[in-house]
Structure 1
Amino acid sequence: MTTVELKNVSRWYGNVVAVNDITMTLEPGVTGLLGPNGAGKTTVLHMMAGFLSPSRGEVTIDGAPTWRNPDIYRRLGLVAEREAVHGFLTAREFVQASARMQKLPDPKAAAEWALQMVEMTDAADRRIETYSKGMRQRTRVAAALVHNPQVLLLDEPFNGMDPRQRMHMMGLLHELGDRGHTILFSSHILEEVEQVSGTVQVIVAGRLAASGDYRRIRRLMTNRPHVFALQSSDDRRLAVALISEKSVSGVEIDNTGLTVRASDYGSFTRALPRIALGEGIRLRKLLPSDESLESVFSYLLEA
């Protein structure tokens, strides 16, 4: 059983703190690293992969430090967010090169196995420069998998994949996790984490904002206060009607329409059509006005 640990880890660049005092443990299975862009997810992955040293704290795989420890790459595979593939190579050549770098006894057989895992055998002899982004992404995953590592780190692995490719990759991560591999993938999309991982680590502004079971964190995120911008055929009458709705905690009106504060997203969005219909009011606009990822994730810091 391979375990990855971060103990009180911080990483800063001059006066900029990218990661602030994070402690987490990854065990076999699939874990999602969730957070908005710029939250520090890539920095965490790079420290786990030994590409960056922590400014403070300790990052280990089975007790061995990842920094300045090339031996960890026998047990670790990384798919970085930034592409670093030579377009003049075919996928087969690229994955075989990775197998040779790992000094595998049969690089051709290992590459064939990895290409099959990501469904790239049919296009394996085409140059990578002819591939779609999703195909290039799957080729990079194959290169990271070629030595069958116990730890697999993936930075935004579903970027550029079409729905079928995405579903296949999610299934592959599930399969590897069930086999006992320790897998961490980063994403800024909640639904990706929901479909792949039951365990979530949420990072906001370099800090660990929430950790644990996906369902608990989902409840925290969906049960937070919500703000809606609303316009209708009779804003004043609608405002009066909405005040009596249990899920509504406040209503403001101005010349642009209504601002409604709701304590429960689901209850409000179900009640609004019923209330409008009962009052004979036509809804013209309904927009969540605080639904940026930053506001959703930042709420977890206060929860």
Structure 2
Amino acid sequence: MTELVLSNVSRWYGNVVAVNDVSMTIRPGVTGLLGPNGAGKSTLIAMMSGFLEPSAGEVTLGGEAVWRHVAAYRQLGLVPEREVSFSYLTGRQFVQASAELHRLPDPRAATRHAVEEVDLLDAADRPISTYSKGMRQRVKLASALVHEPQVLLLDEPFNGVDPRQRLHLMELLTRMGEQGRTVLFSSHILEEVEHIARHVEVVVSGRHAASGDFGAIRRLMTDRPTHYTVRSSDDRALAAVLMRQPSVRSVALAAPGGTEEVQVEVTDMGEFARALPSLSRDAGITVRELVPTDESLESVFTYLVQS
């Protein structure tokens, strides 16, 4: 199994610390790397890909150090955030140059396959200088995929990609993760991460803030109020019962779309979850639906950044 392991990794530039003592393991599947601008995401990806030496700590792939390890580079594919600088080349030439650098046995066939994977075949023979920002993103991805790496690292891969192509790339990354490849990507569009990467790594101010399933991370935040929507056989009676519970901060009746519901804010999610079944049963009320309304990745990320 191909695992990318960061062990107490730091990177500094003079007196500026970009990444501070980060340890994490990136396993097969799709992982989202989250953090505000300047959090150290790009620096982390550069060290994971072997393009930047850690000032302290080590990055390993399959137990071998990545820095200055040529064999490891053959298993890695990198899509950097920066723009392609060889804009005078056609998309096909750019991808084929990567195939030839990797000394693939049939660079032309590998190039065609990679270009087709990112849905850029129709524009493959146009100069990159004529490409839109989204097309440039896709040609970078094709270049990273041409040697079929086991590990793919993408820095803001959806920047400038139109909705149709964004969906195509999301499906491609999901499929690669399902095939057992290790895929890590950073994105500032949190909804995209939530749709394709259940596992997240969060960095804030160069430090590792959280790791794991985003729902599990959310459940660890017991000091933050949690919001639920509850629908039952008697919403008004249920609201009255809940208002007397110590774990409930506020209760409101609402009727979005004409359907009545109870909106509850709780301070202790575990206590509320344990108490609700017995409370409703004792009151003769049937709970039909219980839905957390603030468990989106955006909510989790905002809380972590503010903390």
Give the stretch that moved more between structures: 211-220 or 188-197: 211-220
2:96 — aligned with what? 96
Alpha carbons of structure 1 residues 222 and 108: separation in structure 2 relative to 1, 3 Å: farther
Alpha carbons of structure 1 residues 296 and 128: separation in structure 2 relative to 1, 3 Å: same
Gaps of 5+ in 1: 227-244, 249-261, 265-290
User: 1: CA distance between counterparts of 2:305 and 2:74?
Assistant: 37
State the 1:69 CA deviation: 1.6
1:240 — aligned with what? none
Alpha carbons of structure 1 residues 97 and 141: separation in structure 2 relative to 1, 3 Å: same
The CA RMSD over aligned residues, in Å, is 2.6
2:8 — aligned with what? 8
1:298 — aligned with what? 305
Deviations 1:219-240 (A, max 9, x none): 56898469xxxxxxxxxxxxxx
Alpha carbons of structure 1 residues 57 and 178: separation in structure 2 relative to 1, 3 Å: same
Give the stretch that moved more between structures: 83-92 or 173-182: 83-92
State the 1:55 CA deviation: 1.3
2:191 — aligned with what? 191
CA contact (8 A) 2:50 2:67 kept: yes
Taking structure 1 as the reference length, what is the TM-score of the superposition? 0.75
Give the stretch that moved more between structures: 116-125 or 12-21: 12-21
Task: Report the 3-state secondary structure (helix = DSSP H, G, I; strand = E; otherwise coil) of the residue aligned with 1:119.
Answer: coil
Q: Residue 144 of structure 2 aligns to which amino acid in structure 1?
A: A
Taking structure 2 as the reference length, what is the TM-score of the superposition? 0.74
Alpha carbons of structure 1 residues 263 and 206: separation in structure 2 relative to 1, 3 Å: farther
Task: Report the 3-state secondary structure (helix = DSSP H, G, I; strand = E; otherwise coil) of the residue aligned with 1:122.
Answer: helix
Q: Residue 198 of structure 1 aligns to which amino acid in structure 2?
A: R
Deviations 1:128-175 (A, max 9, x none): 111110011001000000000001000000000011111110100011
Q: Residue 214 of structure 1 aligns to which amino acid in structure 2?
A: F
CA contact (8 A) 2:33 2:186 kept: yes
CA contact (8 A) 2:118 2:141 kept: yes
User: 2: CA distance between counterparts of 1:196 and 1:295?
Assistant: 19
Q: Residue 22 of structure 2 aligns to which amino acid in structure 1?
A: I
- What is the total number of aligned residue pairs between the two structures? 246
User: 2: CA distance between counterparts of 1:214 and 1:89?
Assistant: 41
Residue 24 in 1 paired to residue 24 in 2? yes
User: 2: CA distance between counterparts of 1:38 and 1:14?
Assistant: 16
